[in-house]
Amino acid sequence: MASKLKIISLGGLNEIGKNLTVYEYGEDIIVVDCGLGFPDEEMYGVDIVIPDFSYLVQNKNRIKAVIITHGHEDHIGGLPYLMREIDAPLYTTRLTAGLIELKLEEHGLLENTKIITLEAGERFKTGCFGIELIRVNHSIADSVAFAIKTPIGMVIHTGDFKIDITPIEDGMIDLTRFGELGKEGVLMLLSDSTNVERPGFSESESKVGSRFDQLFKDCDKRIIVTTFASNVHRLQQIINSAAKNNRKVAITGRSMENIMRVATELGYMDVTKDTFIDITQINTLPKNRIVIITTGSQGESMSALYRMAFSGHRQVEINAGDRVIISASAIPGNETTINRVINELFMKGAEVIYDRLEELHVSGHAYREELKMMIALTKPKFFMPLHGEQRHLRTHAELAKSMGVEPNHVVISDIGRIVELTRKSVKLGGTVPAGKVLVDGTGVGDVGSVVLRDRRHLAQDGMVVVVMTLSAEDASLISGPDIVTRGFVYVKESDVLMEELKRVTLETLDSCEYQRITDWATIKTKVKANLSGYLYKQTKRSPMILPVIMEV
């Protein structure tokens, strides 16, 4: 019988997002979370990034369960792509299950997926693992950590968490249970590293509610608020402030509408029907009686706020009579898009209140003192930082050592690396297939590094297509060459350059004929090489060159 637990991260290390951790003992595997990441500016045309599931697909008969800590995209967004490949039950809390169901339904996978809902405090067994759900605070309701009982000892996987002493709903994080487990003995703690660089304690979510009250009170403008759609406590506070100030609420943005519906149906939000009006009815009321809650807190180009800012929204036109409140902080990498939207809103004459100026957002992730408290309560023998870039993981590892965890008991892993844990030691083992799979439209994984390189090339330097009609018998030129460019130069103003490109192509074809080269591939290679050299010399640019041969 195996005496070691293998822990493999397929996402969430040395990056922000696409969190996925695999626990493997003997023949049994459980998967914790299955998120997505967002493309960087180099990933032209890519919609989302998901983990490489090939290791899980290879071992799908050993997977006993997929267990989910909470309903954020970086923890559930990859599920539709995994669940079409494996057949294992999903265990999670009610709100998270509701959000997962929406996602699976969209992909036509809901009927074939078994989802088991549990409350914080409940336990279940699957394979050789015993799993207990422990309530934590985060920026979405129904978030939990997992205490995973393995044959070699107890492992705690925190998921995303903070310590909020005055939460909106749900109750405070169950520090007592973490402390009890610490007394019983925790073999290893795997903990959220997102905010390890921030000193002190995070602010309470309830602080934001009182700020909304101030901003709504005596305001004679129409109020438009954007926040993360998944933050149902924030949405509740916006609705409460609207009701207190005799305003009706309209919702716009598909993800916002979906989450409001699920959260209300499951009882996570307390709203009355007469609080709301349809977005199409907003012009029937005075501006000072309206609050519009919208998607777009990250400046996404398809979001409702973006369309409002750039005059593309059917119902809402931003103008000087509007107060726009952005109640979110930028996810790393989104700063430019958010700034573009904020600038456009200012151009429209709106009053914009955003995170840098106001206390409109609090983080859902623990700061340093909270992370120290988690280590102090659980007293782990071994420690592994999760969820963060290299600087976060390193800083969190040093924090654990400062809290008394033995230096050789702290491990920093990487995506695809196997961490081997026994009762007495932890070490990095071999690797499994891992990385980024790019989703572009309905294509999953068909955009690889070569396609991305081509897209980058096209984006930076454009393309030149050379069309030639050659004889099938001796490869002599029958017509052409014709030059077509895209994203390179404006052809009408570059007649001389176009003529020169034709000349270089003709010289190359003459040379091939002289050398009796009749192989299409060789002719294309020579045309491409000569045009490329000429263009770089003349323009210092390297467009993509595509020679096309028509055979007659």
Catalytically annotated residue among 72, 233, 365, 392: 365
Over 80: is that where the pLDDT of 489 sits? Answer: no
> Average pLDDT in the 516-530 region?
85
Backbone angles phi, psi at 221, to 5 degrees: -105, 165
1 — pLDDT class (breaks 50, 70, 90): very low
Task: Answer whether 452's CB lies under 8 Å from 438's CB.
Answer: yes
Highest-confidence segment of 33-42, 128-137, 337-346: 128-137
493 — pLDDT class (breaks 50, 70, 90): low
Over 80: is that where the pLDDT of 140 sits? Answer: yes
Beta-bridged to residue 83, according to DSSP, are: none
Over 70: is that where the pLDDT of 449 sits? Answer: no
Find tokens 């400062």 and name the residue.
Answer: 402
Percent of the chain with pLDDT over 90: 55
**Residue among 178, 183, 127 nearest 151 (CA):** 127
- Same fold yes or no, 5-200+363-444 and 206-353: no
pLDDT, one tens digit per residue, over 225-242 is 999 888 888 999 999 999
Higher pLDDT, 123 or 204: 123
Domain boundaries defined on the chain: 5-200+363-444, 206-353, 462-551
Higher pLDDT, 483 or 325: 325
Residue 407 preceded by cis peptide, ω within 30: no
Q: For the domain bounded by 206-353, which CATH number is listed?
A: 3.40.50.10710
Distance (Å, whole) CA 458 – CA 335: 25
Asked if the 462-551 domain carries CATH number 3.40.1000.10, the reply is no
Beta-bridged to residue 97, according to DSSP, are: none
Distance (Å, whole) CA 297 – CA 300: 8
Asked if the 5-200+363-444 domain carries CATH number 3.60.15.10, the reply is yes
pLDDT, one tens digit per residue, over 266-318 is 988 888 878 899 999 998 999 999 999 998 888 887 888 999 999 889 899 89
Mean of the per-residue pLDDT values of the chain: 88
Q: Is 157 a catalytic residue?
A: no
467 — pLDDT class (breaks 50, 70, 90): confident
Catalytically annotated residue among 192, 322, 440, 461: 192
Q: Which pTM value belongs to this model? A: 0.80
